[in-house]
């Protein structure tokens, strides 16, 4: 069968979380190749006794998967942790790999990944914890700043507007948050100037051309200070 290249992320299972409810995986991604369908590979990675679950995020076939894997591993060598595992501190690796494959291997066919019960359970547990944090930590602070917001459908983040910017504040791993900044009229330099601590994105897909900057994987206070400073200078 045609080789398939995939990018996956480790997540904690319910078994592990019941011992440490605040536990969460650091931002790590795995880039590998399987000779079977992604859902079968996922089962192999999960095993039957491991407390850690691996969730495949994206997968592609109809390409020379081994060649692409080797190229990506070489490009990302500075962020390699061990073997096929890479640090993804800015949480841009999935976008970067997707952009790379779309740009240099347009013949690649993205394939769907079946949902495994253990992976779904572990993912739901993580999302539930992030959702609780949004309600107890984020929303009260936005109310203090008189910012109108909409809670995302999955409950893991909020969307709101400030001036000519659209923003998404979402809960991530290890009690960290990420603020993503969009604008149709402001450029990246404007966003970096207007929002303290923000960084230029390393990956910017054509489908997301209005995305300007991000404050990645930061404590909530850092992000709120940036938002508060903007509000005080420009209003809501």
pLDDT value of position 189:
93
Instruction: Report percent pLDDT > 70 for the chain.
Output: 71
Residues 97-146 have pLDDT tens digits of: 998 999 999 999 998 765 555 555 555 555 666 677 888 889 999 999 99
Backbone angles phi, psi at 147, to 5 degrees: -95, 125
How far is 169 from 157, CA to CA, in rounded Å? 5
Q: pLDDT band for position 176 (50/70/90)?
A: confident
Residue 60, pLDDT > 90, answer yes
Residues of the chain with CATH 3.30.1460: 127-234
pLDDT at position 206 over 50: no
Q: CB burial class (10 A; 0-12, 13-18, 19+) of residue 158?
A: buried
Q: How many CA atoms lie within 13 A of 30 on its CB side?
A: 17
Q: How far is CA 212 from CA 18, 46, 65, 171, 198, in A?
A: 38, 36, 31, 19, 10
DSSP, collapsed to helix, strand or coil, labels residue 54 as strand
* Element holding 212 (H helix, E strand): strand 211-218
CATH 3.30.1460 fits 127-234, yes or no: yes
Q: What is the mean pLDDT of residues 39-55?
A: 54
Identify each DSSP E strand in 22-143 by its residue range: 28-34, 52-61, 80-82, 85-87, 109-110
pTM: 0.54
DSSP 104: H
Q: Determine the Cα–Cα distance for residues 3 and 13; give it in Å rounded to an integer.
A: 28
- The strand order across the sheet containing 4-12 reads 80-82, 85-87, 28-34, 4-12, 52-61, 109-110
Distance set, CA 39 to CA 18, 59, 175 (Å): 26, 10, 29
């Amino acid at each position: 069968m045609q080789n398939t290249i995939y990018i996956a992320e480790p997540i904690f299972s319910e078994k592990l979380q019941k011992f440490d409810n605040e536990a969460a995986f650091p931002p790590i991604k795995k880039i590998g190749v399987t000779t079977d369908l992604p859902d079968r590979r996922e089962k192999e990675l999960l095993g039957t006794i491991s407390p850690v679950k691996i969730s495949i995020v994206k997968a592609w076939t109809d390409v020379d998967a081994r060649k692409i894997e080797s190229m990506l591993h070489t490009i990302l060598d500075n962020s390699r942790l061990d073997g096929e595992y890479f640090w993804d501190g800015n949480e841009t690796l999935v976008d970067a790999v997707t952009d790379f494959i779309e740009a240099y291997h347009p013949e690649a066919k993205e394939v769907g990944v079946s949902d495994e019960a253990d992976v779904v359970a572990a993912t739901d547990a993580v999302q539930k914890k992030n959702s609780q944090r949004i309600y107890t930590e984020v929303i009260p602070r936005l109310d203090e700043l008189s910012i109108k917001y909409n809670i995302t459908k999955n409950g893991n983040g909020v969307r709101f507007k400030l001036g000519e910017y659209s923003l998404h504040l979402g809960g991530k791993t290890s009690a960290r948050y990420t603020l993503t900044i969009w604008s149709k009229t402001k450029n990246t330099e404007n966003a970096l100037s207007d929002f303290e601590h923000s960084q230029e994105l390393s990956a910017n897909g054509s489908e997301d051309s209005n995305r300007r900057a991000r404050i990645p994987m930061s404590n909530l206070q850092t992000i709120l200070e940036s938002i508060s400073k903007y509000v005080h200078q420009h209003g809501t």
